[in-house]
Structure formats: structure tokens, C-alpha cells
Amino acid sequence: MSDRDNGGIRSDWATKDFYAVLGVSKTASADEIKKAYRRLARANHPDSHPDDAAKHEKFKQVAEAYDVVGDADKRKKYDQARELFASGGGFPAGGGFSQTVNLDDLMRERGGGGFGDLFGDFLGFGAGQRRAQPRAARGADLETSTTIGFSDALEGITVSLRVASDAACPTCSGTGGKPGTSPHRCPTCEGTGFVVASVGGAFSMNETCPGCGGRQLVYDEACPTCHGSGRGRSARTIQAKVPAGVKDGQRIRLRGKGAPGERGGPAGDLYVTVRVTPDRVFGRKGDDLTIDVPVSFTEAALGAQVKLPTLGGAPVTLKIPAGTPNGRTFRVRGKGAPKKGGGHGDLLATVEVQVPAHLSDEARAALETYAAATADAPLRAGLFERTEA
């Protein structure tokens, strides 16, 4: 059904001057508007100007303008909307206001059915329709956390989460009324679900009705379980898949796993903060795993081959060249954490040269021999050098 058939108008029309498009005044009669439309339509008709894009656009504007102000009912609503928007919300121009002005009252004084009714027409439905359907509300988002092991974080895991949230009362199914009793229209908001509250100065706004909680209906006898609130507590266990490669402290969003919606509204989301327990051997740096490799002084000096563990795989052999200094890091390709796009990071192995705390007599004698053989090595000569000015 078209806008003209159902009497509704689009919200963007409030910012368009259709009288100016037709070249008539706001007080023009219906006959004057019709004559102006016919004259402009003939002058800009696409059949007469097949290659003139400007005239084609003008013809569309003229047709749109006449479709609104050429219809008595639409013209009335259009004039109300134009006046409301032109005055910054229906208020008089100037620096101050002597009294609070309510948009609903303002529209009713001008012959309309209230601010909500006008915008109901903008959207293509009337106030009666809007009030007959309680407004759906999205459920609240919830927060929880879970702790998983280091290897589970790398490989992914499904965990069970116990979630408690606000939900519809199980006794009255969210109506707020005693089961078996009949509802009637809320006298506080007259069935609209909201009341008008002043926010200071000349402005007012709609708030959820305190009498019915926005449900539009009330019961003479309240539900004995929720005492008329329509709300209760719900606890449930859900299965959540933690993706492979999750990091410590990462927040995962589970759509639609939050609190249930009200009056048919969608459920909220559940946000899960993941805590990862540290591993005794491995650390993590992005997609790479890290490991500290203890080596003896002789292994570092003479070179060696040492076996390293990998997470969930076979050990690998790391070749340490002769003369490797303490703290040097070697990269073992493809033995790190799983990457989001596929594949694995690397294993970063850092050499830690161990100094023995106790020496046998034989070991001490061997080190003393080594010290005598390297006594002339100027290890600390650079400490005493000074830069010339």
C-alpha cells in the first residue's frame, strides 16, 4: 500500500518545502495548488524532454510535492511537521521560555493526535496500532569469566558456564499479574507504556511508565512471586567454545547468550573474560612460544646439541654453536602457538648459561688450568678507556 493510500508520510518530508517546489504560498487553495502542479508537470514532463535530466528531476520533485500538499489529510500533517521542525521542536523562538511546553500537548492543541501519533504516521502506522503492540526490549548483556589451562588456550576448548540473569517471572510469565486474573489498560499512562517527564526548562521527554513498567496493562492482583514486577532470576548452564589461540585476559563475545529479552525482544550478549594459567616450561609472545634452555659453560663454549620439548608434539634438537653467549635466542620454525589464519608461530629458545655453585676438586683444578691459559685475555680493558674530548 502506498503512503497516499494509508495516509502516512515519510519523516524526511518535514525538511522539504513543497510549497516552494510548486511556486505557491502556504495558504494557497487546493485549486491553486492543482493548477500550479499541472503547469509545472507539462513544462517538465519526461516525454517532452527525453534527454533533459534536469527537467526529469524537476518533474519528480513536482510530483512528490503535489502528492503531499494536494491531499488534504497529508497536507495537514505535513504543515504540523514543518511548523514543529522549523521552530526547533515546536517551541517559540527567542532566548527564554515562560513555561514548560510538552510536545504531545503542543501537537494536540494544533489539531493532531499527539507527538507519538504524528511520528506513527511518519512510519506508516497510526497511534492505535502502536499502542496495541507492547514494545519489545532487548535483554541485558552479561559478564562472566573462566579459567583454562595453557595448552587448552592454544588448542581451543569447550567450557561449561553457569550464568544467572534477570528473566521473566516463571509464575506470571512476565505479565506481573496473578495467574488467572485479567488485565486492563494502565490508568497512569492510559495504555501507552510511557509518561511525559520534564527535563528542565521548556523540554520534556517520554519515560517508561512507573505504573505498568512499560507493559501498557496492569492487573488488580499482583503476581505473588514477583509482586507485580514481572521479573525473576534465571540460572542456566551453557556450553561456550573458546577458540584456539586465545590469550590471557581476552574478552570473547557470545551473541544471544545474555539475558532473555522482554515481550519478544532478542536476548542480550554474553561477554566471557578468559584467564589462562601459566605453564611451568613455556611462555607466550603473540603467536610464538618461548622457552629458557639451561646449558653448561662447556656446552656454550664448545658447542652442543640439546633436545627441546614442544607443546603437544615430539621433541626437537637445537644445535648450539661454539662460543654462544648467555641470553642468545634461537628460533625453531613452526613449533609455536596456532595462528588465527592457519599455521603456527615459532618456538623461541633462549640460552641460559649455568654457573655451578659447587665444584669438585677435579673440576676446580681443570678450571684453574683454563684460567691460567687465558690470563692474558683483556676482558675488562674497555672499562678503563676514556673518550678523548
Higher pLDDT, 191 or 118: 191
**Euclidean distance between the first and the last CA atom of the chain, given in angstroms as a whole number:** 92
Q: What is the pLDDT of residue 387?
A: 59
Most confident of 46-50, 116-120, 174-178, 241-245: 241-245
Per-residue pLDDT, averaged over 12-41, amounts to 87
Lowest mean pLDDT among 218-222, 281-285, 315-319: 218-222
pLDDT confidence bin for 303, thresholds 50/70/90:
very high
Q: Where are the beta strands (DSSP E) in the chain?
A: 142-148, 157-168, 183-185, 194-198, 204-208, 217-219, 231-242, 251-254, 270-276, 283-285, 288-296, 304-310, 313-320, 329-332, 347-354
- Can you read off the three cell numbers belonging to residue 246? 586465545
Q: What is the pLDDT of residue 104?
A: 47
Q: Which residues contact 367 (CB under 8 A, 6 or more apart)?
A: 359
pLDDT confidence bin for 14, thresholds 50/70/90:
low
Average pLDDT along the chain: 79
Per-residue pLDDT, averaged over 215-237, amounts to 83
Torsion of CA 348, 351, 352, 354, to 10 degrees: 150
Lowest mean pLDDT among 108-112, 209-213, 331-335, 340-344: 108-112
- Can you read off the three cell numbers belonging to residue 264? 519478544
- Can you read off the three cell numbers belonging to residue 323? 662460543
What confidence tens digit (pLDDT) does each residue in 98-142 have?
Answer: 333 444 444 444 444 444 444 444 433 344 444 445 567 788 899
Per-residue pLDDT, averaged over 218-223, amounts to 86
Q: What is the pLDDT of residue 120?
A: 44
Residue closest to 118 by CA, chosen among 189, 70, 108, 136: 108
What confidence tens digit (pLDDT) does each residue in 343-355 have?
Answer: 889 999 999 999 9
Q: What percent of the chain has pLDDT over 90?
A: 32
Q: Do domains 134-165+233-278 and 283-373 have the same CATH topology?
A: yes
| Distance, CA of 221 to CA of 224 (rounded, Å) | 9
Most confident of 55-69, 225-239, 291-305: 291-305
Domain boundaries, the chain: 3-132, 134-165+233-278, 283-373
Per-residue pLDDT, averaged over 315-328, amounts to 95
CATH superfamily of this structure's domain 3-132: DnaJ domain (1.10.287.110)
Per-residue pLDDT, averaged over 261-270, amounts to 82
Per-residue pLDDT, averaged over 337-342, amounts to 83
Residue 332, classed as helix, strand or coil, is: strand
Rounded alpha-carbon distances, angstroms, from residue 302 to 296, 299, 305, 326 = 10, 5, 11, 13
Note the CATH number of domain 283-373: 2.60.260.20
| Distance, CA of 251 to CA of 59 (rounded, Å) | 55
- Amino acid (one-letter) located at 189: C
What confidence tens digit (pLDDT) does each residue in 99-108 have?
Answer: 334 444 444 4
Note the CATH number of domain 134-165+233-278: 2.60.260.20
Q: Is the pLDDT of residue 186 over 60?
A: yes
Task: Spell out a b/e string for 311-345, using b for 16 or more CB atoms within 10 Å of the CB, else e.
Answer: beeeeeebebeeebeeeeebebeebbbbeeeeebb
What confidence tens digit (pLDDT) does each residue in 78-98 have?
Answer: 888 777 766 554 433 333 333
- Host H or E run for residue 118: helix 115-122
| Distance, CA of 301 to CA of 313 (rounded, Å) | 30
40 within 8 A of 105, measured Cβ to Cβ:
no
Q: What DSSP state is assigned to residue 381?
A: G
Q: Which residues contact 229 (CB under 8 A, 6 or more apart)?
A: 169, 176, 213
Residue with grid cell 548452564, as numbered in its chain: 237
| Distance, CA of 153 to CA of 273 (rounded, Å) | 13
Rounded alpha-carbon distances, angstroms, from residue 101 to 112, 123, 196, 295 = 16, 24, 11, 83
